[in-house]
Amino acid sequence: MLDLATLRKNLMETAAQLALRGYRLDTEAFSALESARKQLQIDTEALRQKRNDLSGQIGRAKAQKQPTDALMAEVGQLGDVLAVNEHALAELLAKQEAFCLMIPNLTHASVPVGKSEHDNVEVRRVGTPKTFSFTPMDHTALGELAGLIDFETAAKLSGSRFVVLRRQVARLHRALIQFMLDTHIQHGYQEMYVPYLVNETTLRGTGQLPHMADDLFKTNDERGLYLIPTAEVSLTNLVRDAILNGADLPLRFVAHSPCFRKEAGSYGKDTRGMIRQHQFEKVELVHIDTPDRSYESLEQMVSHAESILQKLELPYRVLSLCTGDIGFGAAKTYDLEVWLPSQNTYREISSCSNTEAYQARRMMTRFRDAANKLDFVHTLNGSGVAVGRCLIAVLENYQDEAHNIAIPTVLQPYMGGLKTLSMKE
């Protein structure tokens, strides 16, 4: 969440910055809450001070063996009023926190200003899309040739936006996961295995709650746990409520996990194939770093995600997202988009973001620097990369006219030396 001190001191300037990302900050509502909080806090402190003064008078009266009944009665009455005030103040602070939890992060000065994805800025392109001598098939049509990508059975099991992968395609999917994990471990990440079900506090820490409540799957038991939309949630919360040693930073975590999303608001989008699923796999990267290094850390994370596509020899481009397209908690985001021949365009396969101290304030995650001063860490997250979309890219970019898929060289050891996968077997 945003720094309350910043909101209090620079409310209108903050509102103007948030407007760049299409968010209207209700300054009147915040000012009303803040005014009520100030007055109630002043009144409550005054009552506490008066009670303390009276308690002192009672102590002195007792020492002088003077009557204290009237003073004690007044203290009792003050205590009742103080209890009412303290309860009201707690409720008001909770309302203010709920208000602030729905405010997105401020964007970094380097983020391009824009209203939609059309205003994102291309940073670079790597690789040249292959020219086919035939019309390339999309992954859905390829998978249907031998039932290796099976949406019909998945729909019978679960409904729309699910898939069953069979035989060599399932193995290729698993190979991609192992390859990505091994690559990122070589980059210096600590591999983690984390829970796929988490509580409300955990999701609030990384900003998915309350903002993304409609897109989350929730259990119906007494604990009300949620299925994670990304391993970012579990990985980042590993340091919740912690005071870290600055000398130990950066921390770099990597984990493979399924991700679960209702895809609320995506009706009619990407209904064909595996592009947009309720359940999909990702290899997630998380950095915990100091404020002075976090943007260098972001560039490193992007390069680590890029290395996956480079090793697979897949054409891709890097975009800097504009203020109108950036995610709720991000201060700056780069998207990696991979080339899909069937669509004749680039599609997102990774998103790498620096949230600065936005998540750290929610999680109360701080560090001590060399001077023993406490400050909030900066948290970063990114896909390294989305496994299903990477599978799509490999199938489509490596197909031939006979419907065979050439296995990328780096994946062949993970496929038992297999060099070609037939989609007609």
For this structure, is 351 an active site residue?
Answer: yes
For this structure, is 348 an active site residue?
Answer: yes
Catalytic residue, from 234, 351, 353, 383: name it: 351
Phi, psi of 288 (to 5 degrees): -115, 115
Structure tokens at 382: 């990114």
Catalytic residue, from 252, 261, 362, 366: name it: 261
For this structure, is 261 an active site residue?
Answer: yes
Map 70-112 to HEC letters: HHHHHHHHHHHHHHHHHHHHHHHHHHHHHHHHCCCCCCCCCCC
> How many other β-carbons are positioned within 10 Å of the β-carbon of residue 277?
20
* Distant-in-sequence, close-in-space partners of 424: CB < 8 Å, separation ≥ 6: 145, 146, 402, 403
CA dist 323 and 87 (Å) reads 39
E strand or H helix at 338: strand 332-340
Describe the chain by its helix, strand, coil percentages, rounded to 5: 45, 20, 35
Long-range contacts of 262-271 (CB under 8 A, 24+ apart): 262/214, 262/215, 262/216, 262/217, 263/161, 263/215, 264/214, 264/215, 265/214, 265/215, 271/160
Catalytic residue, from 276, 293, 347, 368: name it: 276
CA dist 404 and 408 (Å) reads 13
Catalytic residue, from 34, 86, 200, 348: name it: 348
247 burial type by CB count under 10 A (0-12 exposed, 13-18 middle, 19+ buried): exposed
Triad 129, 134, 137: Cα angle to 5°:
75
Catalytic residue, from 51, 204, 361, 389: name it: 389
b/e map 41-51, b = 16+ CB within 10 Å? eeebeebeeeb
Q: Where are the alpha helices (DSSP H) in 148-193?
A: 151-157, 167-186
The catalytic residues are 261, 276, 348, 351, 389
